[in-house]
């Protein structure tokens, strides 16, 4: 069964904090592009929405996924982590057969 990605409450809360701190209330885009040390890499950034994006929304915060990236992100979880190595948005992707140590690239 294929499901769209899910965004955690922690990720939506961090987006709201970013908007409050910086005044930049653009949605978070989570995409997949070719490259990285494992074949594909995540592209996570603030961006303007496009007409064909899937929009995941909660409490006025939005996460965008483009239609090309969507199959790679089925059933994935988009989260925010604050660890010793740094604070960042992360993707827990059950479709990835392997990933690199930095967590930004993966293979299918």
pLDDT in tens, 88-98: 998 988 877 65
Q: Which CATH architecture has domain 6-107?
A: Sandwich (2.60)
pLDDT of residue 1: 59
**pTM for this entry:** 0.84
Average pLDDT over residues 6-33: 95
Domain residue limits, the chain: 6-107
pLDDT of residue 102: 47
Average pLDDT over residues 5-33: 95
For residue 107 the two structure tokens come to 């293979």
Mean of the per-residue pLDDT values for the chain?
86
Q: What is the pLDDT of residues 73-85, one digit of tens each?
A: 999 999 999 988 7
Strand ranges for 1-108 from DSSP E: 6-7, 28-34, 40-46, 54-58, 61-65, 77-83, 86-92, 98-99, 105-107
Q: Give the 3-state secondary structure of residue 73.
A: helix
CA distance 67 to 18: 25
Strand ranges for 47-101 from DSSP E: 54-58, 61-65, 77-83, 86-92, 98-99
Q: Are strands 77-83 and 6-7 parallel, antiparallel or unpaired?
A: parallel
């Amino acid at each position: 069964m294929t499901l769209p990605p899910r965004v955690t409450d922690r990720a939506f809360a961090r987006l709201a904090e970013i908007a409050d701190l910086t005044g930049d209330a653009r949605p978070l885009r989570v995409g997949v592009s070719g490259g990285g040390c494992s074949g594909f890499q995540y592209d996570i950034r603030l961006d303007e929405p496009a007409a064909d994006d899937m929009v995941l929304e909660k409490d006025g915060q939005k996460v965008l996924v483009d239609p090309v990236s969507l199959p790679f992100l089925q059933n994935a979880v988009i989260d925010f982590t604050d660890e010793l190595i740094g604070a960042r948005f992360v993707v827990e992707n059950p479709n990835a057969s392997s990933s690199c140590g930095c967590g930004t690239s993966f293979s299918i």
